[in-house]
Chain A
Amino acid sequence: MDTLERLLSEHPFFKDLDPRYIQLIAGCAREVTFKAGEFIFREGDPSSHFWLIRSGKISLEVFAPGRGPIMIETLGEGDVMGWSWAVPPYRKQYDARALELTRAIEFDAMCIRGKCDEEPKLGYELFKRFAQIIGQRLQATRLRLIDIYGSHS
């Protein structure tokens, strides 16, 4: 097992994933580093990649005219960033910026989609894992909608 495959199998997102699949998707991955302050993508960019964060911290931001950038979520070690690569129109919906030096594994989305088409079981496994992430983020958003620390409580 080479270094990249080992890093992938150690990441919580790929916990217990069949080593054959790890080997298959490793061909679409590479290690990347982002400096503090560096933008990783901007709202409206083509969603051509997603990332497994190994260390560091990234903020997802929305720019509101008159208010400036607003951080809506931070992601750190063990998190996954980006799921818009999986569904049309394959566009980024937020800005993503490294808050500190961040190490990640970057996946080429087109390559991954190709592997999923060739190997539907891998696709099913990946989408189950992404569905869990999307569900967690939806629940976190709903909790913020109801203002769980609000003064009415």
Chain B
Amino acid sequence: MAVTLKPQTIETVQTDPMVPVPYRVLRVRRETKDTFTFELQAVTGERFPFAPGQFTMLYVFGVGEVPISISGDPAHPEILVHTVRAVGTVTKVLCRLKRGDILGVRGPFGSSWPMAEAVGNDILIVAGGVGLAPLRPAIYHVLSHRGEYGRVALLYGARTPGDMLYKKELAEWRGRFDIQVEVTVDAARPDEWHGNVGVVTTLIPRAQFDPYHVTALVCGPEIMMRFTILELQKRGLRDDQMYISMERNMKCAIGFCGHCQYGPNFVCKDGPVFRFDRVKGIFGKREI
């Protein structure tokens, strides 16, 4: 006797957070020597609504799964965008995927940047290295709701001009005149770079914002975030005005497995975005 699957059964399978949904690679763009941006679309054509700061689990079939922040525009959920640096086994294979290839996607997962809570405030965005990728959806959101926020400053640091992400967009944002964009690199040749040289924390004293009415969004390697917070505190920011995005070894992404435990939190479920005062006691502790 033939068995007919009820639509309800199919729906249940597709929304199981542990089951990857097939996505097709639409476009690959090389950002730096080891970092690529992928545009993906569900094979079914389904949209992928998400909040800025959330992440997905990308599954390269037969290789493994990795957590990657979403770096696309939340106003365009028909395309899922990820920027990936080839650093481990899975990401190295992932970065070799071509247009038309299929991979699995689970998500979106985790907490998000406080875009609603920050309405009415100045916005200060501090990014280091590939940390600009998880912040890009927040930048898109701020720029498309520009009237809801006060002064906006983006401070971005990279090792060299060749390691910078989204160069074209940085130039476009800078050209808008309603956002302060400052970029710095650790070292550069004078014939290849005309911008700032120094670590990203040196840009903080010249950022324009009202320290009493600002929300700071910070993302980058943990050590960069530590020193950024120290500089922001010097400018008078309170701990509850600063948000950071944490990175840990995430596996299940729904708070079951405990791989990403961070003190009393699971980074996958309670994070990756944390208000700083909520993790202040454990942030930077080498035992945690």
Binding site for B on A (CB under 8 A): 57, 59, 61, 67-74, 76-78, 97, 99, 136, 139-140, 143-144, 146-153
In the complex, the number of residue pairs spanning A and B with C-beta atoms less than 8 Å apart equals 85
Q: Which of B232-280 contact A (CB under 8 A)?
A: none
Chain A residues near B194: list those with CB within 8 A: 99
A144-B199, A149-B129 given; A61·B190 CB < 8 A: yes
Q: Is the CB of A144 within 8 A of B221?
A: no
Binding site for A on B (CB under 8 A): 34, 85, 87, 128-131, 157-159, 163, 184, 186-191, 193-199, 201-202, 205-206, 220-224, 227
Given pairs A71-B193, A72-B187, A148-B224, 16 additional interface contacts (CB within 8 A): A57-B196, A59-B190, A68-B189, A69-B189, A74-B198, A97-B190, A99-B190, A140-B201, A143-B201, A143-B224, A144-B186, A148-B128, A148-B157, A149-B186, A151-B34, A153-B221
Chain A residues near B87: list those with CB within 8 A: 151-152
Specify the chain A residue showing the minimal Cβ separation from B196.
A74
CA distance A14 to B176 in the complex (A): 34
CA distance A132 to B3 in the complex (A): 77
Instruction: Name 9 interchain pairs, CB-CB below 8 A, sorted by A.
Output: A70-B188, A71-B188, A71-B197, A74-B184, A78-B205, A140-B198, A148-B128, A148-B157, A150-B221
Per DSSP, are chain A's interface residues mostly helix, strand or loop, or mixed?
mixed
CA distance A152 to B129 in the complex (A): 11
Task: Report, nearest first, the 8 A-B pairs whose CB atoms are least far apart.
Answer: A149-B129, A153-B221, A148-B224, A74-B197, A71-B197, A143-B199, A74-B196, A144-B186
CA distance A143 to B184 in the complex (A): 14
Chain A residues near B159: list those with CB within 8 A: 147, 149-150
How far in angstroms is the closest Cβ of chain A from B53?
Answer: 19
Q: Is the CB of B227 within 8 A of A148?
A: yes
Q: Is the CB of B189 within 8 A of A71?
A: yes
How far in angstroms is the closest Cβ of chain B from A48?
Answer: 25
CA distance A149 to B131 in the complex (A): 9
Specify the chain B residue showing the minimal Cβ separation from A145.
B186
Chain A residues near B189: list those with CB within 8 A: 67-71
Chain B residues near A136: list those with CB within 8 A: 202
Q: Is the CB of B223 within 8 A of A71?
A: no
